[in-house]
Amino acid sequence: MRKIDLRIVLVRSIYERNIGATSRAMANMGFDRLILIGPQCELTIESQKAAATGQAALQNRTIYQDWNDFFKNEPESLVIATTARDGRGRQAQDLEKTLVNYTETLPALKKQSDDPFVIHLVFGPEDWGLSAEDLQYANACCTIPIYGNNTSLNLSQATLLAMFIFRSVFGGERARLDGQQKPKERQKKPVNIFPEETLRLWLQEMGFSLEKKKINVFTVLRRMLLQNAPSTKEFQILEIVLQQSLRKLKELKKYQAD
């Protein structure tokens, strides 16, 4: 799929702390293109405090006076508006469903191009959200799922949830926390190798007959050893003992022959 350039758009935001907190949320989710349309507040030290360790989007923000200014300067894109209200002509569906549908049906997302495809994710002011006039500029109107009785989301929380949903659909490389190790590849457990052939040779060298196929000294010893569930290390030690015994027996027979 074509690379996507996600840009967060805040329309007529009232509180600067929410703009700063949105910048922090964007840093958490790996985005840095913050656009403000007609902000209703000044950006002072309070917004910087709210951004905390996520200052990049706030410092590099783009401000437009209105929608005309926005469309005049922004590239052609897919504009997705968010709303907490359904009905009254607002045909809204969950953001995740909308994004999944676009991945399957929008030709521009599948087009081979070095230029990223731009998606503008739009959020309204804290008091009443996006107006009907705002929504006319959007390609789609979406909601963020709510499971509790309080259906009103803080602006910065809404942007964080929306970006998380975006990541759940389009993916991305997750960050590792300090001290967090890369997932280790699962190693196959070493197979306990019973020294079957060495035991057989040792018994034959000791003079035991192994002609009986079902029950003989080899099958009895083998069953006794395996019933105790020896570890790989114990099998290795048994192999060493048997090999050493074989060498000594061969040396003894050679000495007797001489």
* Cα angle value 27/30/33 (rounded, 5°): 75
Cβ contact 158:143 at 8 Å: no
Provide the pLDDT for residue 81.
95
> What mean pLDDT is predicted for residues 91-106?
87
Residue 203 has pLDDT above 70, yes or no: yes
H or E stretch covering 245: helix 232-257
In tens, the pLDDT along 26-76 reads 999 999 999 999 999 999 999 999 999 999 999 999 999 999 999 999 999
> What mean pLDDT is predicted for residues 159-169?
95
Q: Per-residue confidence at 85, pLDDT binned at 50, 70, 90? A: low
| Distance between CA atoms of residues 74 and 189, nearest Å | 56
Structure-model confidence comparison of residues 154 and 196, the more confident one: 154
H or E stretch covering 213: none
- Neighbour count for residue 53 (Cβ, 10 Å): 9
| Helices vs. strands in the chain: H and E counts, helices first | 11, 7
The region that residue 229 occupies, defined by phi over 0 for left and psi between -120 and 50 for alpha, beta otherwise, is: left
User: What CATH code is assigned to 4-170?
Assistant: 3.40.1280.10
Report the range of poorest mean pLDDT among 3-12, 96-105, 241-250. Answer: 241-250
Q: Cα-atom radius of gyration of the chain, to the nearest Å?
A: 35
Q: Where are the domains of the chain?
A: 4-170, 196-257
Q: Per-residue confidence at 87, pLDDT binned at 50, 70, 90? A: very low
| End-to-end alpha carbon distance in the chain | 81
Measured CA to CA in angstroms, residue 256 lies from 204, 251, 252 at distances of: 18, 9, 6
| Distance between CA atoms of residues 40 and 145, nearest Å | 27
Read off the pTM: 0.67
Residue 18 has pLDDT above 60, yes or no: yes
Tokens representing 183 are 């997932």
Provide the pLDDT for residue 256.
78
Q: Per-residue confidence at 202, pLDDT binned at 50, 70, 90? A: confident
